[in-house]
Chain A
C-alpha cells in the first residue's frame, strides 16, 4: 500500500532557529516528491519538487533532500521566521493508480518569538 509518513507530528521552535522535518514513503513506482506549506485555513502551496535523480534542492531558506534508495526526504528550514508557522505536507506522486498523489498527514510547525 502506498503510504507517506511524516515526523514529527508537531514542532515548536524559537524564531531564528533551524529545524528539519522528515518524510518516509513507500510509494511505488515513484515519480516525484513535493513539499507543500499550508497556512491555517488556506490551501497548500508547493515549495519544492524532487525527482528521482535529485538529492538536494533549495528554495530560499527551505532546503529539501531526497534519498531514493531509503525512500526518505527531509525539509530543512534555516533561520526560522514567525511566518514559517504552518503545516508542511510531503506529497509523493506514483506513476500509476487512481490517486497518484499520496499525501502525508503533515508536520505542524510553530515558530515562537
Chain B
C-alpha cells in the first residue's frame, strides 16, 4: 500500500532563518506531488506541484521554493522565512484524476 511521510510535524523558526520540509512517498512510482498551505479559516492553497523529477510548477509568488530530487521525494524550502510563512503545510500525492493523498502536515510557527 502507498504511504506518505512528512516531517517534522511541528517546527518553530525565527524570522529570517532557512526552511526545509521534506515529504516522501512509498509504494508508488512517478506520482504527482503537491505542496499546500492551509491557513486558519481558509481553503488549502496550492503552492507547488510536480509531475516528475526536477519538474516544478507554481503560479503563486512567494518566499518559498520546491525541489524534487528523486521520484518520490518533494522538498519545500526557503532561504529567509517571513512571519507570513506561518501555517499548516501539507504534502500530497495523486494520480492524474485520482484523489489527493495527504501527509499529516507540518505546523510551522515563525517567531
Interfacial residues, chain A to chain B (CB-CB below 8 A)? 4, 31-32, 34, 36, 41-46, 49, 89, 91, 93, 98-99, 101-106
Contacts and interface: CB of A to CB of B under 8 A. Distances in A.
Nearest to B46: A99
A42 B105 contact: yes
Interface of B: 41-46, 57, 59, 90, 92, 97, 99-105, 107
Dominant secondary structure of chain A at its interface with chain B: strand
A103 B99 contact: no
B99 A34 contact: yes
B105 A89 contact: no
A95 to B, nearest CB: 10
Dominant secondary structure of chain B at its interface with chain A: loop
B100 A44 contact: yes
B60 to A, nearest CB: 8
B104 A102 contact: no
Contact of A41 (B92, B99, B105): B105
Top 6 A-B residue pairs of the complex, sorted by shortest distance between their CB atoms: A43-B102, A103-B43, A46-B99, A103-B44, A98-B59, A99-B46
A47 to B, nearest CB: 9
19 contacts: A32-B97, A41-B107, A42-B104, A42-B105, A43-B104, A44-B44, A44-B100, A44-B102, A46-B99, A46-B101, A49-B99, A89-B44, A93-B97, A98-B46, A98-B57, A98-B59, A99-B45, A105-B41, A106-B43
A42 B43 CA distance: 15
Contacts of B101: 46
Contacts of B99: 34, 46, 49
Contacts of B44: 44, 89, 101, 103
